[in-house]
Structure formats: structure tokens, C-alpha cells
Structure 1
């Protein structure tokens, strides 16, 4: 069955159905880059431009729906990031990153969407400006290879082209030329039609975690022991996954440490102590090169990175397992837990969720 963000695509209906579409109205944009007007006008123009592209017409119906949803959502968080600076310039720095979070929430909580489609839309929103500014990035090769692990570059270029055509500006042709350069750059980096192929999983991990590393470099594999690192919101079924797939494997759990020591989850000092205790327990296994599971929510990339850096410093191999179920099932599972988490806390955590990326660990698996 074909997924669609909505079957009624008239703008009036979109504004009535989705508050985040209605919010686009009257959000100002830079008159230099967007002389057409506010975000609502721009988004409508982008949707029209997208559907007029020959490359869009050649997509199958499902991919057309994915691209249409990404175009609708691409500037959704200009509403929260747009400011007028002291010199009068209108900017919306960070709108693409924040837009990824919003797209993920909308397509998980409000509009049930298959995981792969949802993450494709979220990635398109996150990187929609990349083809226009790739060569101005500090490390363009690494950025484009990272993006290629999440989505198809021709689709990203298509969205950027619609974004450039769906506006009124003096530098439109320059924007279109930049997209052609982006295509050439991706072809040069061997990631235009598929993700860059790395020699080994370890080679991919080292490239994204070490400065000045080459994607063709093959590091010597001297890793010992494996850490099964779980990631997922509370109540998603991480404990059940471990019991079913890794019976008998030692498990370090922050929740278990808190409960054993009767610590309150909302007490920062208690949480700090629990984290330190968990770290000391992990070091015992790491020094011996023995496998264990690290069971915590780990919903942000920054937090996961801190722990992965620790594990790797002891030459451990890290398998990162992300676990997710549908929104309805998640709420039911949480309410039936021995220690349920308040719904308002779940909503707050969902707003911060960053689904693990393929390059974060030696292996990344998605159980959805």
C-alpha cells in the first residue's frame, strides 16, 4: 500500500489539517534570497517546481510521495529559528537541523509512517541545503559521504533544485550551477547513485572518527570483545530484546543502578553518580576484553559518542542496536511497565530523538 503524508494536497486543506503548515504563513524571509515573500509562499512554489521537474515525473509513485512530503517539510522550522539581526538581515540558522526533529515527530506520532520512509524524509529535510553550500563546508568530502549513508544523492539534488526554482532571487542561476557542481563532486567521491563503499566496517568507523583519514584506508583490526550498545526511548522494549537475543550476557543498566540504589531519575546529582558507577562497571569488562551489553536510552548522538569513545579507547568493537515500535504500541508498552515513564516526559524525549547513523559504531542495526 502506497504511503502518503496526505491525500488532499490543496493548500487550504493543508493549513486546516496541520498546524505546522499554518505556521508557515507570515514567517518572513530574506528579501535577497526570497523576494517571493514568506515561508508559506516559498513552500507552495517549491511544491509546484518539484512536480514540474522531469526527474520527479520519472520517479515511481511512492518516491514521488516521499519527495513531496520532504518539500512540504523542508522549511518547517523557519517558524522557530527566524530572527531579524541588528543590521536588519533576516536569518534562520539551524532550521534544517530542527526541521529534521520535527519531521521525525510528525511522521512518527501524528502520521504513522514506515521507518525507512520517515527517516528518508527526515534526512532530506536535514540536508536540503547541502547541494547549495557543500563546497563552503570545512570538510565537504566527509559531509557528503555521511549524507550518502542516509539518502540517495540524486533525490537530494532534486529537492535542492526545486528549492532554488521555487523562489524569486537574483542569484537563481548561481544556485542551479552549484547543484550541478554538487552532482560532479558526488560522482568524484563515488557516492552519487549509492553510498560510498568502504573496505570494512572498521574502515568506515575510523574514517568518520579520525581527522585526516582516507575512505580507502584499511586499518588493522585489533579489536577485542564486543559491546552491545542499545538505543531507544523508554518503553520501546530494550530489556526484552536483550533477554531474547543475548541471554546470559552481562548487562550494565543505568535504570537498574538507580533502582538498586533507590535513586530518583530526576535528581541530577544521583544521575551523575549512577553514570559514574556504570562507567566503572564497564571498565572491568573492557580491561578484560569481555563482551557486555550497555543498556540505556542513548537517544542523542552526542551522548552515544561519549560512550562509544570510551569503549573504543579499550579497543572494544561496538554494535549499536536501535529499537523502536509504533507510537500506539510504545504508549501501551510504557503504561504496562513496572516503572512507567510519565507521558509528558516521553514527549520531551521524543522531541530530542536522534536515530543512530550508520557511521556511529562498527555496526548499527535497526529493530523496528
Structure 2
């Protein structure tokens, strides 16, 4: 079954029998672009949409470098930014799939914490720590699958289900460690969070960043080069039409929430590998807000059906650049929270502006 582009408007074409020539009808219609736009304005809008938030990212980086003592655009600091952005990139990639279907997943931060706790516990088993990473991923997948089942087959609202999971899974994470921090100085997979791939002497790419880029690439391929990706966009664009066209909408929803949970589990691997530890109370706090902000800043619409994984990558980098740059400027953590909150509000406002401006193309 070939997907039908429902966003392409159809209009009657005048014929000679109607007494109006095709050329004269075209002239009588609205100006170029169908919305009173000139050719130059259409090209400018297309360029701005393609660039997305990339100019904002570049301006932020330059600004923090100039006003932060020329310390931002250095190799060492950019490596730190890449590490800071990597976990949010992974979470935001899963969030992109969910929001493209018109849903939301507020539980990813809690899933990350519970998965990391499971990984640390498994790493201390006497039978060997080789099970730590699989256990971490499995916990994320199972919790994400439970969310998806309640939403897809239980017909419960995504906001309510994942809000409940945010609290319940956070409690589970605390229960797993008896409300204590679990620490393992001999963590078998610590290299993921603390080592890098050496390109040439003195220059290495952090494994965290490599994992994040790999997740982004695979996500791009699924969304843009597979039938599954077409169906995800279709479900977000119009669930009723997708159902009528033969798409198994519940199965698609089950997939995206399971994937979001799995990637949150991967985030748990990355976080615990970096810290050699996990804490059910603090780890992953507010990560879901950063992920949502990255997705919306990247151009994915809350109503679903519109967005790209590359935009999500730019959004995650903006969040990381903001955090790092504010630290370099000596801004207190109190004001950092305020700025991040304003960015999230701005992201939602930007999403509304895109909708009103006819971004659904």
C-alpha cells in the first residue's frame, strides 16, 4: 500500500469547456504560493524552515564564547558539551517518535533512574556484571511497553499514563536501592561514559557522543526511509485516516512508547557509566523536560505528524549549550532553572506560532 499525502490540497482544474483557460485561471488565483506570497517570500520561508533553529545554536555558541572569556569554543569544552548533550539526545530521539504520534512521555527521566539502578545492582552480582547493560535496557523496554499498552489498548490519555509512571517508577527506583546511592568503582561498562574513540593522538570523540549520533542516525533512517516511519507520521497527522487506510494504530503507539522506554534505558546505561553510581531520587530529575524542550525546539509539533530527528539534535545541542554557557558566565543554578523554564515556554510558543503560520506543509 502506497502512502497517500493527505496534506497536498486538491483543486478543480478549469478546462476549455468552462470558458476559462488554464493560464488565465492561474493568473486569477492568489499570488505565488497560494497565500499571497511572492516567489522571493516563498524561498525565504523555505530557507528559514530548512535552517530551523541552527542559526540560534550558532549565535548562542558565538555569544557564550565572546562573553565567557573565549573559553566556550575550545576543544576541551566542546567535548564536555557533547557529553552533556548526548544523554538528552538519546532521550529526545525516543520522545520525537512519541510526539510525532501526537503523544507525550513524561516518564523517561524516572525510567532512566530505575534502569540505572537495575544496572548498578546487576553489576554487583557475584555471577558477573556482564548482565548489567542488558538488564538496564530490559527495564526501560518493559516500562515503556507497559505505558504503550495502557495508551494503545487501554485507550488511556498519554499525559495521564506517563504522569502516573513518572511518579510510580521514581518510587520504584528509590525502592530498588533502599533510597540509597549504589556505587561500583569497578563498573564493567564505565568506559562508555568516560572514554572516547581516539581519532589521532590527543583527540578523541567521547563514546557517549558516538552512541548519541548512532541513535540519531538510526532514528532518521526509520522515520525517513521505512514504511514504519511513514506510518508513524500518518498516525500523528490523522489517526482516524490512518486507521481507515489499514494502519494498525495501536501497534504503532505500542512501538513508539516501547522505543521511548528502551532509549531511556540506554540513557540509564550512559548516566551510570559516567558516574559509576546511581541514585533513585536524584538521577534523571527533570530530564523529561529537557527532552521535550529539545524536540519542540527542533520543530516537531505537539499535535503530531510534523517534525524531524535532525531538528531534535539541534534542539538538544541548544539545551546543552545553554547549560554549559551559563556556567561559564558564572550564572547561579537558580537562574539556570529560570532560563531553562523560559526556554521550554518559548518552545511551546514557537510551536503554536508554527501552527498558526501554516507550518503544516
Answer yes or no: same fold by TM over 0.5.
no
TM score, norm. by length of structure 1: 0.28
